[in-house]
Amino acid sequence: MKFLPQQPPRAFQVGSQGQITIFDHGKIDLQPNEQVTFVLPQGGEYDVTRKEWGFYATPSLNGRLEQFGLRGVLIKNRGTGRFFVLLVQKEKEVAFEQYCQTENLVAVAWLDSTAALESFEKKARF
């Protein structure tokens, strides 16, 4: 693993009104079968694992994420038509809903429990 810091951090505006400032602190160059873990002050964790074919973008949605208090959700930006998978901290759902309202986002499917994922799987079969 190699961390390539961005000094100073690059700042750029995002959000429907450009009201959010993001600070880009750098890049992490992972080789196949390497992982980085991001941690929350409350003890939650989020892993990204590099594989030869790409990435595991999240830990198991109905396993490790759930254990660490994170809920996967597939959302759609109504304005751009783009889809995203977000991770919402449990007990932060109200803040997430407010964010969705402000940014014109809609939750397509919660991907946070075995039952929800199996229901999504049944609907997605061709």
What is the widest separation between alpha-carbon atoms in the chain? 49
Q: Is the pLDDT of residue 123 over 90?
A: no
Q: Are 105 and 17 in contact (CB under 8 A)?
A: no
Give the residues across from 27 on adjacent strands.
4
Residue-level pLDDT at 126:
61
| pLDDT average, residue stretch 47-76 | 94
- The H-assigned helical ranges of the chain are 64-67, 93-103, 114-124
Q: Which residue has the higher pLDDT, 123 or 32?
A: 32
pLDDT (0 to 100) of residue 120? 86
Q: What sign for the dihedral angle of Cα 98, 100, 104, 106?
A: negative
Alpha-carbon distance 80 to 28, whole Å?
Answer: 28
Confidence of residue 65 (pLDDT cuts 50, 70, 90): very high
> What are the tens digits of pLDDT across the range 108-117?
999 999 999 9
| pLDDT greater than 70 at residue 56 | yes
pLDDT score for 95: 97
Q: What percent of the chain has pLDDT over 90?
A: 85
Q: What does the domain layout of the chain look like in residue ranges?
A: 31-124
**pLDDT tens, position by position, 14-46:** 998 889 999 999 999 999 999 999 999 888 899
